[in-house]
Amino acid sequence: MTSKTLVLGIESSCDETACAIVSDQKEVLSSVVWSQYDEHRRFGGVVPEIAARAHLDKCDVLVQEALKQAGVTFRNLSAIAVAAGPGLIGGVLVGVMTAKAIALAHNKPFIAVNHLEGHALTARLSADIQFPYLLLLTSGGHCQVLAVEGVGQYRKLGATVDDSAGEAFDKVAKMLDIGYPGGPNLEKRAVLGKADRFSFPVPMRGRKGCDFSFSGLKTAVRVCIDGLGQMTETDKNDICASFQMAVVAQVRDRLNHAFQAFRAAYPTGRDLVVAGGVAANKTLRTALKEMAQANGFIFSAPPIELCTDNGVMIAWAGMERFCQNMTDTLDFRARPRWPLDTQS
């Protein structure tokens, strides 16, 4: 055990407090996640101040639980990694200060991980994916297509010009009053509905480039809901199915451009990776897998449990950085905004 390189990862950028320990042999030795669904459910979304206090209450406890599950102590760790942004700054600060304190007290290297890089690299933990690869990163706060050239090396091919896909899922779920968390609940409802009942627009379809837009689709759903008046459960299910189909249609259209752009710039690239919370959507996964095969790519995605925020992805990104001697000093500042692509 002690001969292996071990990295502790801490995640607290939104509404999950999570800690994990991974090895350089791609072993997940522990993973502990504490979700704040109950704290935020009555508000219909994440309240930053409540989230920060909850992280403060749980972070130390989860670190100890991760050590216990892995059967190690701080002495056995090789480095401490933490999601240092982007995210809700109160929660990010809790994680960063915890990680710095551990690194200082136990004389361990400190690694500040971009939360988005955690998502971007997680698929390499569970599959043989070589650089460069094409990445669709889609979550509650982000929707972008990137060429992943290496650790810390990203080139943005396209991004949303307004809302993210995950935000659209959550806001439509709130309009329909189907509960929190909105995205997963909407997906469950969509399975029961008729996707061809409502004809929602597919923003950006046919346009050049790889950018996304979801605000117009969200507005179209609002107009539809207002027109129905008193909705039945069947109405809600059909709206969910029709909305989800429109989202997938836009992703298909945008990725067709991304495949061409990526192949032209990186002729040896062979992998399409989807990551982020929305990557857990099974309908989207199926569509992306079909598209990858049709374009001569190999489709990969992290396991469902590693799509939403978790400590494993931060520990693994920390491991990738540690193995390339990419560590940080303890004066590193938490960042509420932190673009992943190197051109920003």
Q: Are residues 97 and 16 in the same domain?
A: yes
Residue 341 lies in a domain: no
Q: Is the pLDDT of residue 2 over 80?
A: no
For residue range 202-255, list pLDDT tens digits in order: 999 999 999 999 999 999 999 999 999 999 999 999 999 999 999 999 999 999
For residue 1, being part of any structural domain is answered with: no
Inside any domain, residue 339: no
Q: Is residue 93 part of a domain?
A: yes
Q: Based on the fold, state whether residues 212 and 148 are members of the same structural domain.
A: yes
CB 306 within 8 A of CB 312: yes
Say if residue 115 is in the same domain as residue 166: no
Q: Given the DSSP bridges, would you call strands 79-83 and 6-11 parallel, antiparallel or unpaired?
A: parallel
Chain-centre distance for alpha carbon 10? 15
Q: Does one domain contain both 136 and 241? A: yes
- Cβ atoms within 10 A of the Cβ of 190, count? 23
CATH of the domain at 157: 3.30.420.40
- Residues 285 and 160 occupy one common structural domain: yes
84 shares its domain with 179: no
Is the pLDDT reported for residue 140 higher than 60? yes
* Containing structural domain, residue 160: 130-304
Q: Return the sign of the alpha-carbon dihedral for residues 261, 262, 268, 270.
A: negative
Q: Are residues 71 and 138 in the same domain?
A: no
Q: Enumerate residues 6+ apart whose C-beta is below 8 A from 26.
A: 125, 126
- What the block records as the tokens of 100 is 């710095």
**CB-CB contact of 182 with 170 (8 Å):** yes
What percentage of the chain exceeds 70 in pLDDT? 97
SS3 4: coil
In a domain, 328, yes or no: no
Whether residues 296 and 311 fall in one domain: no
Assess if residue 24 is contained within a domain.
yes
The mean per-residue pLDDT over the stretch 148-168 comes to 96
> How sure is the predictor about 300, in pLDDT bands with cuts at 50, 70 and 90?
very high
Copy the structure tokens of residue 309.
């925020």
Asked, for residue 343, whether it belongs to a domain, the answer is no
Structure tokens at 306: 């590693």
Placement of tokens 């929707």 in the chain: 143
SS3 154: strand
Q: Is residue 344 predicted with pLDDT exceeding 70?
A: no
- Is there a domain that residue 95 lies in? yes
Q: How many domains does the chain have?
A: 2
Structure tokens at 299: 């489709």
The residues with which 35 forms a beta bridge, in sequence order, are 16
191 and 153 in a common domain: yes
**Range 41-56 burial, b when 16+ CB lie within 10 A, else e:** eeeeebbeeebbbbbb
Same domain, 136 and 272: yes
The candidate with the shortest Cα–Cα distance to 92, out of 340, 333, 317, 260, is: 333
184 & 250 share domain = yes
Q: Please tell me whether residues 196 and 225 are part of one structural domain.
A: yes
Question: How is residue 251 written in tokens?
Answer: 């992703």
Q: Quote the pLDDT of residue 37.
A: 63
Helix, strand, coil shares of the chain, percent, nearest 5, are 45, 20, 35
